[in-house]
């Protein structure tokens, strides 16, 4: 219905690639009325902030979809409900519990987290990017024909999912092992100029890339953005549409990482 949507993602090397996954789906189906909000690590801190939600709503958004954040955002979820701002939380962190160990969950419009007690999904150790990837797969299963998404298109998102799975240090078992393995294969063929440039500038050969290369030479540069400047600097590198823009964005990340 052409509602404006804000993707609200965490500022690290899990949430930022997760925002690329969801925005890639929107781009694929021709949905342009969206933006990405990444909270500032130092000025705002981790979590969903009501001040940020107020700005988002003032800017015209009527739906917020979180990635890698929100399972403890009780006040934010309540505020959204009281102020007619639809909130979908996707997260992978542990919910709060009462003294008896019963989970205390926020009440957004929709809550997607494999760690909530009522969720029967087989793997509850996915990273935040992995969770939103499963949402994208579900969307494609239901609406893929309607939006003319060719079978197998979603596999090209596994570069971001593999990067996040390795960066967030989740156990490489079950589905995470699949994400890491196939993610590495897709990274070696990635169509994203910024990711290729990040790897090249780290002095790595993309054809012989290893998990350790990613974790110790690429991930720190993405995380340097939020620690030294703003996480959008990392997002710009990952979504850069051309070699020129990728070169500029990655050069900036290299500078921040060196600092």
3-state SS class at 127:
coil
pLDDT in tens, 187-203: 999 999 999 999 999 99
What is the structure's pLDDT at 11? Answer: 96
Distance CA 259, CA 80 (A): 38
What is the structure's pLDDT at 138? Answer: 97
* Confidence tier at 244 by pLDDT (50, 70, 90): very high
Burial readout 197-236 (b: 16 or more C-beta within 10 A, e: otherwise):
bbbebbebeeeebebebbbebbbebbbbbbebbbbbbbbb
Q: State residue 163 phi and psi, 5-degree precision.
A: -60, -45
What is the structure's pLDDT at 31? Answer: 97
pLDDT in tens, 152-192: 999 999 999 999 999 999 999 999 999 999 999 999 999 99
């Amino acid at each position: 219905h052409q509602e404006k949507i804000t993707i609200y993602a965490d500022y690290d090397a899990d949430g930022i690639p997760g925002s690329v996954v969801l925005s890639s789906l929107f781009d694929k189906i021709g949905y342009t009325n969206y933006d990405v909000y990444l909270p500032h690590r130092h000025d705002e801190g981790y979590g969903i902030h009501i001040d940020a939600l107020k700005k988002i709503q003032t800017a015209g958004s009527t739906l917020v979809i979180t990635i890698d954040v929100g399972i403890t955002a009780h006040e934010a979820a309540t505020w959204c409900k009281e102020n007619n701002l639809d909130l979908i939380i996707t997260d992978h962190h542990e919910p709060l519990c009462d003294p008896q160990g019963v989970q205390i969950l926020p009440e957004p419009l929709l809550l997607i987290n494999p760690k909530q007690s009522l969720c029967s999904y087989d793997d509850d150790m996915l990273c935040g990017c992995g969770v939103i990837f499963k949402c994208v797969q579900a969307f494609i299963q239901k609406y893929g024909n309607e939006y003319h998404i060719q079978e197998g298109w979603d596999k090209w998102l596994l570069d971001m999912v593999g990067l996040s799975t390795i960066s967030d240090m989740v156990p490489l078992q079950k589905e995470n092992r699949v994400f890491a393995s196939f993610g590495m294969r897709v990274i070696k063929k990635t169509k994203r100029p910024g990711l290729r440039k990040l790897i090249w500038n780290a002095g790595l050969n993309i054809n012989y890339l290893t998990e350790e290369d990613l974790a110790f030479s690429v991930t720190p540069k993405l995380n340097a953005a939020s620690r030294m400047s703003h996480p959008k600097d990392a997002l710009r590198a990952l979504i850069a549409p051309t070699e020129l823009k990728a070169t500029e964005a990655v050069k900036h990340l290299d500078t921040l990482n060196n600092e």
